[in-house]
A and B are shown apart, each in its own frame.
Chain A
Amino acid sequence: MIMAPRLRKFALTAHVTVSVGWLGAVVCFLALAVAGLIGEDAQRVRAAYLAMEFITWFAVLPLALASLLTGVISSLGTAWGLFRHYWVLVKFLLIIFATAVLLLQVEPIGSMARVAAETSLAGTALGEMRVSLVIHSGGGLLVLLAATVLAVYKPRGRTRYGRRKQDEQRPAHAS
């Protein structure tokens, strides 16, 4: 179903807003993850991991889900569709992947925050976990940047489904 122009603009505005917000929230998360990894002051390191849990629950996760939802609505409500153009499909898969990895990381982030709340976390305690948080948030940022590039440049190319749909619509437009 194609949305009316005003509704389409509203959906697009919502999608851009939450998507950019998600990207910014991941940048903040990455900054805290790096601070937790290389920080020498125990109190700051603990504060970083405690803040990361709050950012995850109240910024990263809601914005990720909102971006996914508004993206699906925006694509299905316009002539672009969700499966008709490669760039839309690839971007959708990237966002699904990023959201899935994020959901898998929620538990370790919470565990890390609990450890930070209950212990001093000085030195190299849980070093592998701390490195993992940096790698996952950095990777997530790259995926979101790739999705942004796709959304801005919109590289050409219709999927097989998109070409079939286009062929089906041509006689209808011609008649």
Chain B
Amino acid sequence: MTDPPPTAGTGSEPGRGATPRWVKVLGIIVGVLLLLAVIAMIVSGGDHGPGRHLPSGNVGGQAYLSDSAEPGVQQP
């Protein structure tokens, strides 16, 4: 999504050497979100890997059976 190419005057705007305001605002937002993520990790025990939701061992084991269904048996 990089069309059309920049015009010759794009870089000659006032305050050319400064970081644009939208970049600073975005940086603050990202910083706040990262901080919230770190806090959430600490509160939840410090582990945020994809495997934390899945207990170790047999994924399809009996521990996940929420009723009397046997593995592979269709429910009515």
Please list the residues of chain A having a beta carbon within 8 angstroms of any beta carbon in chain B. 8-9, 12, 15-16, 19, 42-43, 71, 74-75, 78-80, 85-86, 88, 90-91, 104-105, 107-108, 111, 114-115, 117-126, 128-129, 132, 148, 151-152, 155-158, 162-163, 166
Contact = CB atoms under 8 A, between A and B. Distances in A.
Nearest to A124: B66
Sorting the interface of chain B by its residue count into under 10, 10 to 19, 20 to 34 or 35 or more gives 20 to 34
Given A74-B1, A108-B51, A115-B59, A158 B66 contact: no
Contacts of A128: 53
A91 B2 CA distance: 11
B52 to A, nearest CB: 8
Given A42-B75, A90-B23, A156-B13, A119 B2 contact: no
Interface of B: 1-3, 5-6, 10-11, 13, 16-17, 19-20, 22-23, 26, 49-51, 53-54, 59-60, 64-67, 69, 71-72, 74-75
Given A120-B75, A157-B22, A166-B11, A8 B50 contact: no
Given A107-B51, A129-B54, A155-B20, A119 B60 contact: yes
